[in-house]
Structure formats: C-alpha cells, structure tokens
Structure 1
C-alpha cells in the first residue's frame, strides 16, 4: 500500500491470472470522484513514462481492474519486469489523468510481479481447488456401523495456525558475534515479526532490540549467533573513494543470493548538507535499504538508506538524476551501536582487495531481513 501526498491511498493486488487490481480510496470512500461510474471508455494505466506499455481494464465498485497480462503477452517478460521497478503509476479514465508516486510500496509491486512471473513459468504450483460441496442427494452419509460410532463422535483435530506472510524485505549486516544485526529503521517499521535469511537460505527468527527513527537505524538480535561479523573502518572516508554496496534488492526479481554494485563517494554530506549522510554513486534499489556500504578492503563505512526519487525530480526540474543515492555514515552507526551496548570489531584501512574478494566478504556478513505481517 502507498500513501500519497494528495490524501489518496492505493492497494495493489496481482492475481495469478495476471490481473492487476488497483483500489484507490480517498477520505474513506472507495473510487475517487475522478473515476466516473459510467465511463464510456475503458481505463488505461502505465508505470513511469512508458505509455507504449499501457494496459487497459475496467472500473469496478471497489477500484480498477487492469489487464497487465497483456504486457507479458505483447512485449515479453523484460517489459513486464519493469512494472516492478516503477516509481509512479499513471491512470487515465475518460481523458482524465492522475499520476501517483509509488514511493511507499517498498518493493511490494516488485514482489507481486516476480511472483506472477514464477507462476507463469511453472516455478510455483498452487494446490488444486477443493471439490464442490456434495449435492442434496449425496449429502447424507450412510450411518456408521456400531463399532465406528465412538470414532465418529471424536472432536475434529485442531487446525494448525497459518504461517505469517512476508509483507516486505530489506537488508542488514552482522555487527557482533552474538547475533546483532544493523539495518535501516524503515525496513522494520510496522512489522509484526522478523526473520533473517543467511547465505544458503537458512531462516532465523529475529527481534528488535533498538531503534533510532531519526537516523533511520535499527538493531536486531538473531535467535542464534551468526558465523561472520563485519569490521568497522576506523578512518573517515575521503571524497571520491571507491565503495561497495551489497544487499537483496527487488526481491522476487533479482538474484536471491544478493547483489553487489560498485561506485564512489560523490559527496561527504547528504541532501541539504546533511552531515550524517554520504552521497554515493553505487546503484541501489528497493530492498538494498539497511545493507552495508563497504570500502575496497571490505570494512563497513555506512548503511545504505535511500535513493533520490528520479520521477519527482524530473517532474520538478525537467532533468532525470542518475546514481544519486545515500548512506548513513559509519560514525553515526557506531554511536547507535555503542548506545545499545554493542562494541563492534574495528580495523584500520589497509590495502584494497580485488572486487571479487570484497564481494565474497560482503556476502558473508549481509543478511536479508523479512518483515512479517498478519497470517494469511
């Protein structure tokens, strides 16, 4: 779900039949006034600025139903995947166009698109639907024999509780040998439970032991110790220094073993000269949040937090920014850890390592953080 600056709220639903449901509410009433009930033409929608990949649909009492499967059939999987990277959705009904920024989805659309592609490819198989209820003629079973009467009267077995569903994901980095994990606060906001996934796919329960919403930092504690721990760099970064970002972006679309990107420190401050932040050119995507920013020796120098909203900047300035991303400085993260009685490992800057070696080091200490919601 996404909350928008104009007060509207959007809920996304993607069915296995490749129908995208978009329910738009405003002020508690479903379907805002700009969507006429007697629309003479079917609504159209597209993400970002790609109207050539528009999909059509119909207005319903609860929202819009859009046939995104037509993109998959017409333009192939690559165009369909770009839906999951969308930063804005454009909806046109009777020539009236509304544009919504999807900045609050935290990769939800990407997860839906990835799941739909797996279903279409046969990688996910759903159990068969239950048989219809019996007809009246066959609804009454034959009376049980006397010896089975006691068995027939036993109460039914309790139904096991359903598993909580994953509502979002991000990244984290192991900072102590007792299982402490540093991540971004917005990754765990609103979660009813947490799990982490190590390299190899093992899931472990985790709990929140510290939060700093102002600096967007959170400290987790895994249910069991983790094998590898990151070392914090003692020296400050220099402007222009090479850095590495590692994490689990766009879950369901990109590699489940993690992704690495390389770049440089573009500025030693963030937006509006925020001295807590670093500006970096290493590309990041939704899901990278909370992951480590390393120097070329494999030492922690920051926590990945955000990227500049290219759509909003382009609409305001007419120019599309590229590779403008931000990380919280390691010095701020250190103060947060020490405030929660976690003393990390320190290392001085040493010789740079080959990119493949830095990547291997990052993979060992980075985990995927799963946000759990209500059970299905």
Structure 2
C-alpha cells in the first residue's frame, strides 16, 4: 500500500493524508503506536498533517519528530517534550545500547571509552554496535578494544558503510547525516556558512563565541552580534557551554571539513580563509582564556607553514617547488579531517 501511495500522481500532502488514513484503519489492532517523522525543516508546514491532540481515534501513541532548527521546537508541557541530542546519551543509555549488540560480557570502562569516542551519539553508537555484532556473527572474534583501534586508524567510514548497506531502518551513517545537516545549514544561512568555514580550519575544541562573532562580522559587517548569536543558538550543529564557548562533536567537525573541501577550488581561497581566521584568533591574544586558542592554533599552523614555504620558494624563483608546497597545503586543507 505504501508503494502504491508513492506511485500516485498527486501532491506530497495528499500522499501523507492517504498514508495517515491507511494507518488509522489499523489502530484497533494495536495496543500502542509510535510515529517517527525524520529530518523536519519547518514544523509548522507539517504539523497539521500529523495526528492531532484530542482526536479520540489517535490515542495510546507518541510522535517523535527530529528537527534541525531548535527554535521550531515547542516548549515543554504535558504534551510536548524536547530531547536535545547535542550532549548525547547518558552512561546508562549508552551501556544499554552497546550491550544490546554484545554477545560476551564487556567491561563498563571499555564501553565508556567507545561511547566517549563516538560523542555518545545514538546513530554512531548503533552503527558501531551493528558492525561489532555482524563481524562476530561471521565467526570472527572481534572485541570493542579492536573497534577502538580501528577508529584511531581511520577505518570508521568503512565500518559505517556496513551499517548503511545492511540497515533497512535508517540507511545513513552518522557522518552522512551530519554532512546533510552541514550542507543544508550552509546553503540556507550566510552566517552559518561563514561559521562552518571558520571551523573547517580550526579544531573542534571549545572556542570563545566572541571570536566567531568577530570573524563573521569581518567577513560580512551587515550582521549584528545578536543575529550571529541567535543563528549559533538555533543551529543543532554547535555545542554551547555555560561560559559562551562553542565547540563541535568530532563527527560534526569531520562533516564540516568534508563539506568545505568540496567548496575549495583555488589556492588563494585557502590562504584568504587562514588569514582571516588567524586575525580573529590574534584579537584575543593575552586574554584570560587565551589557553583555549592553543588547539586551534596547532591545527592551522601546519597549513600556514606549508603555504609559507611555498611563498619563499616562489620569491626565490623555484616555481615548481612552490607549486608543490602550495598543492600540499591545498590537500592538507581538504584532508585535515584525518589529522
């Protein structure tokens, strides 16, 4: 029946209404139900298509909506509950999920290391558990310790590919889902596009929000500090601390560098980005929170060094070598996801 609705020559709205009508005829056979509405952009556009509160037909069930823009989430009350996954799941939830895929007893400390490495994100943990269980079902002795080693050796994408290939429920890895969110936010907001460019060069560690605001305003002065802060607050990509630091999950940072590498075409774009970002970082030199800049400076110093060597070689007339080092810098910018 679902296949039939997909093939119908009618609007998406009518297709959803037809599907809702089909589901309603099955309710009498179910004690409870759960509807998942994934990757919603504008809740106001689809809310009327969902089962409505107070409708006697739709009882004993829940609707889970995943949405990127947190400003569209209703306030918590007796009928609504906002669950943010920015900070990930708690220890108990992580252990329950990972142990579901574990045949033998696994040490809680080891599972905690896996959870921490994957930022306690449900989709990433599910993909990890799926991979481990599938390898073990193939009569291979595979432990969580071995999984951690594979992550550190940059094999995470190949392991996630197993999850994407065989999982019919949600055919995306955490990286793919994050990349989708990065791309949509960058295309819809010039402010977020600049912030994404900013993080593509630096680390995912916490950095004072004022530095980001300064950078965005240098690039595009028409944006006020308030507008920039609101854009950051409402975007699900960024983690916010109580002292107004902004950071990223490791996998989101990876998605940002992948996305930004797709946008880089010329060497001068890399140099321009590094120059502007370095200027923003320098503005906060000798402040109380200067130590927070170190991981970010370490991240860009390799890129700066490669470009500087290229510039010296160019000035001395060694053009072939200059091109070689500038190309290395360009490749580093595209591949710093691995560093």
Tell me which interval the TM-score lies in, with the shorter structure as reference length: under 0.3
Q: TM-score, normalised by structure 2?
A: 0.27
Larger RCO, structure (CA 8 Å, separation 6 or more):
1
**Which structure has more strand as a fraction of its residues?**
1
Q: Which has the larger radius of gyration?
A: 1
**Which structure has more helix as a fraction of its residues?**
2
